[in-house]
Amino acid sequence: MLHTELTISVRLFPVLIRNPEDGKTMKDEVVLTREQLQACQLVGQSSKELIHRLYGRRGFEVVDIYKATKREICMSLDELYQANFMRSVGKREKVSVDAPEELL
C-alpha cells in the first residue's frame, strides 16, 4: 500500500476564560488550523475575535488570550483509515461503488 501523509499547520492559543454562571476563571487551550485563521482574515476578523466567538457560543467569556505556538501535525492517512475502519466494524458504512469486495 502506498503510504500517504497529511500535514496540518496549527496554532495553539492558551486562553484564560470565565464561566459567567459561577464566576470561576480557568485556563484552557484552543487549537486552530492555518486555514481557519486565513478564513477569518478573509472576512476581516482577527484570531482574537474568532476565539472570542468560539468561546461565546459555548457560554464562556474570554478574559485573556496569550501568544500562540506554531506546530505542524503529520498524520498517516492509511493508519487513520484503518483505525476508523476497525472502530466501524459491525456498523453499516457508506462505500463507493468501486470499493474492494471485502468492504461491500
pLDDT band at 86; cut points 50, 70, 90: low
Cβ atoms within 10 Å, residue 20: 10
The C-alpha atoms of residue 41 and residue 71 are separated, in whole angstroms, by 20
pLDDT reported for residue 96: 47
Give ∠ CA 52-74-10 in degrees, rounded to 5.
Answer: 15
Give φ, ψ of 79 to 5 degrees.
-65, -40
Amino acid letter, 71: R
pLDDT band at 9; cut points 50, 70, 90: very high
- Scan for cell 481557519, then name that residue: 36
Over pLDDT 90: what percentage of the chain?
67
- Scan for cell 457508506, then name that residue: 94
* Residue boundaries of the structural domains of the chain: 5-93
> Which residues contact residue 5 at a Cβ distance below 8 angstroms, ignoring those fewer than 6 apart?
74, 75, 76, 77
Which of the two residues, 64 and 98, has the higher pLDDT score?
Answer: 64
Grid cell digits, residue 102: 471485502
Q: For the ranges 19-23, 56-60, 65-69, 87-91, which has the lowest average pLDDT? A: 87-91
What mean pLDDT is predicted for residues 39-48?
95
- Scan for cell 498524520, then name that residue: 75
